[in-house]
Amino acid sequence: MKWELTVLGSSSATPTSERNPSAQVLNCDDRLFLIDCGEGTQMQLRKFKVKFQCIDHIFISHLHGDHYLGLAGLMFTYHLLGRTKELHVYANAWLRDIIDLQLKASGTTLLYPLIFHDIPENKAISLFEDNKIGISCFPLLHRVPTHGFIFRQKFTERNIIKEKIEKLEIPMRQLAAIKGGADFTDKNGMVHPNSELTFEPPPAKMFAYCSDTGFSPKILPYIKNASLLYHEATFMHDMQSNADEKQHSTTIQAATIAKKAQVNKLLIGHFSARYDELTEVIEETRSVFPEAELAIEGSTYKI
Ligand SMILES: [Zn+2]
């Protein structure tokens, strides 16, 4: 089961020569979900060789420009490349009007269905669900309506012990039923209970995305026990009053949230342009939560 996150942008506010604004792509068993789409995201997708035509769902946390100004460009590119399959966008309702105006002004009728899903303000709701994954959102603390996202893996099948298939000569056609919990009767009529044929799947994976937000313990129930938490850390601790005023977080605040939520791993990003070099940023974060890493553009993190 492959779950991994590739960071496409980690800069706050403006792009710099080294860093792009926010965007990440989550790969869940080769299904790609794009989270935020700052300016230049489509170039980052090409640069880091992401199969961007495979993206069918895009989640926008809020409508500050550094989180969505790349969306229209990507949508027009899909149109110019002849895309015909649906594209689902989940965002604040204002974005629907913004996109409609851009399409109208350019006289464009998209070749593909664009399906827009409004995220209501201050609500925690389910956004997407199938038998493999559940995706939901919850409110963050920011100057405009902002949501974090949760991607939760689902399991419907147990894992079969491979040696048993050969040893007991289990026919291929019965594997699905055994994965679903059935016992197996061999050719001599002997029943092998499911517990001897299978083992528990590993714990479900969970990725939580929190950008942008001030320090907010209210989010803890949503992100608790995440396998990987991405939390913004725009500033270092000495800039806390600045962070509070702008409703952003510091390294120490992001690490405190990770610690309280008992997540496995923390990824910090959305760095202020004032930090060219990030060694002190990560060291300060690790002083509170050692299992922390920097969101580096082009890097992929296993979940
Ligand atoms: Zn913002």
* Contact partners, residue 58, CB within 8 Å, separation at least 6: 33, 34, 35, 37, 71, 74, 87, 88, 89, 90
Q: For the residues 36-59, what does the mean pLDDT come to?
A: 97
* Structure tokens that stand for 207 in this block: 């990725």
Q: Is the pLDDT of residue 59 over 80?
A: yes
H-run or E-run covering 192: strand 191-192
Q: How far is the CA of 230 from the centre of ligand 1 (A)?
A: 15
Mean model confidence pLDDT for the chain: 95
Q: How far is the CA of 141 from the centre of ligand 1 (A)?
A: 10
Residue 58: phi and psi, rounded to 5, are: -125, 130
* Structure tokens that stand for 301 in this block: 């993190």
Active site residues: 66
Q: How far is the CA of 251 from the centre of ligand 1 (A)?
A: 17
Q: How far is the CA of 91 from the centre of ligand 1 (A)?
A: 14
How high is the pLDDT of residue 18? 86
Residue 1 binned pLDDT confidence (cut-offs 50, 70, 90): confident
pLDDT tens-digit map of 218-246:
999 999 999 999 999 999 999 999 999 99
Q: Which residues pair with 267 in a beta bridge?
A: 230, 293
Q: How far is the CA of 195 from the centre of ligand 1 (A)?
A: 50
How high is the pLDDT of residue 202? 80
Q: What percent of the chain has pLDDT over 90?
A: 91
Neighbours of ion ligand 1 (CB under 5 A): 64, 212
State the CB neighbour count (10 A cutoff) for residue 31: 15
Assign 21 to helix, strand or coil.
strand
pLDDT tens-digit map of 81-107:
999 999 999 999 999 999 999 999 999
Residue 281: phi and psi, rounded to 5, are: -60, -45
Q: How far is the CA of 260 from the centre of ligand 1 (A)?
A: 23
Q: How far is the CA of 24 from the centre of ligand 1 (A)?
A: 16
Q: How far is the CA of 224 from the centre of ligand 1 (A)?
A: 23
Residue 27 binned pLDDT confidence (cut-offs 50, 70, 90): very high
Judge whether 267 and 251 are in contact, CB under 8 Å: no
How would you classify the pairing of strands 23-28 and 31-37? Answer: antiparallel
Q: Is the pLDDT of residue 156 over 70?
A: no
Q: How far is the CA of 36 from the centre of ligand 1 (A)?
A: 11
- The larger pLDDT score, comparing residue 52 to residue 1, is at 52
Q: How far is the CA of 182 from the centre of ligand 1 (A)?
A: 50
